[in-house]
Structure 1
């Protein structure tokens, strides 16, 4: 193995370490970015060089490392309540579809960021002004056969009371087991965990 090859092998290691740090730094910088998915750099061995040793034995000497790919880690993130009616979140696999001009390119795009708002024409758009795509309903309740730009009307929707509640929570496994059974008339003294849920009655009133 020549001196030049040795220097090149060391150089590839430094370059790939720098790439890995860049990917990690990007993940840290976007830790508070809504809808951001972290990435992971994958590396592979560079082409090996065959060398003839004593007694005719052939051995292989690696020539460093190379970047194989930078993969997106599409794991489910935390769901947070923002208090904004037009903010949405995707629970599980899937993407929101938005349409418009993005960086000079016209078309449909996919995103996990659900920070939406209404534009001056009443369309639901993302932070870049791209229109959210979906199936709209006419005044009779009929659903459109194909997706299109979602436009939020000015008319108020009829109130629907809460019928089902789904709670996702982490319960402390080390919490002490209370001797007294849970009493719905005295929940504070007969439980060691509590969470609040907002429900609505048939008039749309919040409780």
Structure 2
């Protein structure tokens, strides 16, 4: 059978995966804290027709002759660029400007996220939509949950992540400071769904820091939205569609050639 037919099949599979990733990006264009994906391709092993030869006293060198056997999936990357900020004027919506991720605790499992839509439960703890606790630094510098007492008259969030509230006697108090997790390679994080990420062996976790130490800032009353660019995704979608069509044409042409070979017997 012709090698071009199998090369076309490998190209079709790759472009199908690319379209899957593009579709997921477009579906999450309005998802807060979402980080878009990107697909890269690599060529597969090439079949050697003739090897390279070095120059001799009477003849120059000859380059190798190889026939490629198609393409394969290289990587599916998560692009952790900053998403645009959308103003909501809701005090418990936190937009994170700069590096780092919010830390969430669910029992013994730690999650990380850039989605800053948080809420208060009935006990006054700050939680995400799944009920996972937002973690912060307590008065003694230990990592703990952040609680705003029920008798608090009001609360506010500073750029350094410090959450202040006014108690029932009108005295300002500190509920805690939001903590951020740092990663040297955030693209190595694993997506866990629901705008959450899990640490991995290649994420390069470097520890917990306060926002001002990390050079980041927290903006209350705003959300960081998806970093998906629709114009870029539509362009990539057209490219993937044309690439898929070109590979199907390779298969059709190879089939016609095989048909001609079969007809030689007639």
Q: Which string of whole-angstrom CA distances, capped at 9 and with x for unpartnered residues, describes residues 66-110 of structure 1?
A: 111111111111112212111111101110000106xxxx41111
Which structure carries more helix by proportion? 2
Question: Following TM superposition, where does structure 1 have runs of at least 4 consecutive aligned residues deviating by more than 3 angstroms?
Answer: none
Q: Which residue of 2 aligns with 1:191?
A: none
Query: Is the counterpart of residue 68 in structure 1 residue 74 in structure 2?
Result: yes
Asked if residue 50 in structure 1 is aligned to residue 54 in structure 2, the reply is no
User: TM-score, normalised on structure 1?
Assistant: 0.65
Query: What are the superposed Cα offsets for residues 3-33 of structure 1, whole Å, 9 maximum, x if unpaired?
Result: 2x32221101001011111111111100000
Per-residue deviation at 1:52? 3.2
* Distance in 1 of aligned mates of 2:148 and 2:67: 64
**C-alpha displacement at 1:57, in angstroms?**
6.8
In 1, the alpha carbon distance for the partners of 2:133 and 2:36 equals: 25
Query: In the TM superposition, what is the alpha-carbon distance from 1:58 to its structure 2 partner?
Result: 3.8
Higher relative contact order (CA 8 A, sep 6+): 2
After superposition, residues 128-139 of structure 1 pair within 5 angstroms as: 128-136=130-138
**Is residue 78 of structure 1 aligned with residue 84 of structure 2?**
yes
Q: 1:183 maps to what in 2?
A: none
Give the paired residue count: 147
- Following the alignment from structure 2 to structure 1, what is the Cα–Cα distance between the partners of residues 69 and 129? 46
Distance 1:46 1:120 in 2: 57
Whole-Å separation in 2 of the counterparts to 1:131 and 1:21: 36
The unaligned stretches of length 5 or more in structure 2 are 52-61, 154-164, 173-266
